[in-house]
Amino acid sequence: MRDHGMSEMAINQFRRLYDVWRNEEASSWIRESDVEPLTGVPSFHDVYKTIDHDKAIDAFSKTAFLKLNGGLGTSMGLDCAKSLLPVRRHKAKQMRFIDIILGQVITARTRLGVELPLTLMNSFRTSKDTMKVLHYNRKFHQENIPMEIIQHVEPKIDLATGAPVSFPADPDLEWCPPGHGDLFSTIWESGLLDRLEENGFKYLFISNSDNLGARPSRTLAQHFENTGAPFMVEVATRTYADRKGGHIVRDKRTGRLMLREMSQVHADDKADAQNIRKHPYFNTNSIWVRVDALKAKLAEYDGVLPLPVIRNHKTVDPTDPDSTPVLQLETAMGAAIGLFDGAICVQVDRMRFLPVKTTDDLFIMRSDRFHLTDTYEMEDGNYIFPNVTLDPRYYKNIHDFDERFPYNVPSLAAANSVTIEGDWTFGRDVIMFADAKLEDEGEPRYVPNGEYVGPQGVEPDNWI
């Protein structure tokens, strides 16, 4: 790591992850018998009724905004920052994630008269292209607070030997990020917290750049200030589709809240952990933290928080399942909730959780289910979306996806679910309804302009 130019902070963090992996296997499990379900979380609507909305601007004016922006979107075949992926058009202009994020920030600054500094946690691979967008946006200006911090990297571990993996064909693939829990040591090393304090900021709102629902909120800023809590996680009500996601539980021994990822669930506890009635909330990975509380906690641990270690099994070349099996040691940002006495959760609606992890998600985001407002809100009627399953052979890669939807994705307003099997290309103004399904016909097929697709595929022209 030193030969690669890594800092002592990055090395210390990796050393801790490696030691935990080697010596504390049992610590990776968060057993059902040791925790209690999280219940009775106040909702955004409950909070909204209790705050003084004029006063809320004061709390909002002391809030800074940080977006995790290190991902390349490799799961979609991207070789640039995922935030540079076009989401949809707005007034004839193609809007990317980063354009919408900047629009949300500029709107809040203009309408509410707050400074709302934006900092991106970039990786070495996303920094150049992303910062170019910020510098060329004529409406976005920022001077006192850094616009980016750069996340660390660590070696992937050869599973067979426990040594750093060697991959001469592409040495860059020998390295990986340490998960989004790396945010904290990166913040500490960058001096960002000192800069925020010097400029009068007390609160930091952190979220993923691929979650366009995680907009700055004066309501939540005021609620967070009112509670006096050091740390707050936004959670949402779990549905069956969310059963495998990370969720917040309470540690019986300490009484503190803690994040439990599915990789930390013992096989004997999986049924309980996936029971959405027993554990009704999932982690949206949007958090609020008091700058002074985080600064004190990081100082206590010399910048490396003792977060649970997540063991992520992959291959050194993620696109080649036959390449060397490796282990990536990671931590989760939300797991820091377990280090703070008095940490809390707030339940938010789905409108604040709109992640795009796959082209299945992007299919919905680009459809007529959404309208991008002039205040850069991704607006939908009820935020209950159809279940979409696109054949990964033809739609997983963004270039393949775009090739098969040359005009736009079909209408989903009347669709309950969408299943596309096989190689289908779509004309203009295709409408999907009910449980729309297209089956694999063994050769490339085309859905003509204006056709309806339902449970029986492309509907016949002649109705009986």
CB 436 within 8 A of CB 417: yes
- Which of these is catalytic: 244, 314, 357, 396? 357
Cα separation of 341 and 322, whole Å? 45
CB 12 within 8 A of CB 19: no
Tokens standing for 51? 């705050």
The CA radius of gyration of the chain, in Å to the nearest whole number, is 23
Tokens standing for 350? 């789905």
Tokens standing for 412? 């989903």
Side-chain-side CA neighbours of residue 50 (13 Å): 14
CB 262 within 8 A of CB 296: no
Cα separation of 463 and 455, whole Å? 15
> What is the DSSP-derived secondary structure letter of residue 138?
T
Cα separation of 265 and 34, whole Å? 12
Active site residue 357: yes
Taking Cα atoms as reference points, which of 384, 391, 389 lies closest to residue 370? Answer: 384
For every residue of 192-248, DSSP letters joined together read HHHHHHHTT--EEEEEETTBTT----HHHHHHHHHHT-SEEEEEEE--GGGTTS-EE
Q: How distant, in Å, are the alpha carbons of 29, 31, 261, 331, 378 from that of 309?
A: 10, 15, 10, 5, 34
First-residue to last-residue Cα distance in the chain = 70
CB 348 within 8 A of CB 287: no
CB 442 within 8 A of CB 462: no
CA-based angle 401:404:405, to the nearest 5? 90
Q: Where are the beta strands (DSSP E) in 146-210?
A: 148-150, 154-155, 157-158, 175-176, 203-208
Amino acid at 451: E
For every residue of 146-171, DSSP letters joined together read -SEEE---EEPEETTTSSBP--TT-G
Cα separation of 211 and 101, whole Å? 10
Q: Report the 10 Å Cβ neighbour count for 338.
A: 23
Enumerate the active-site residues. 357
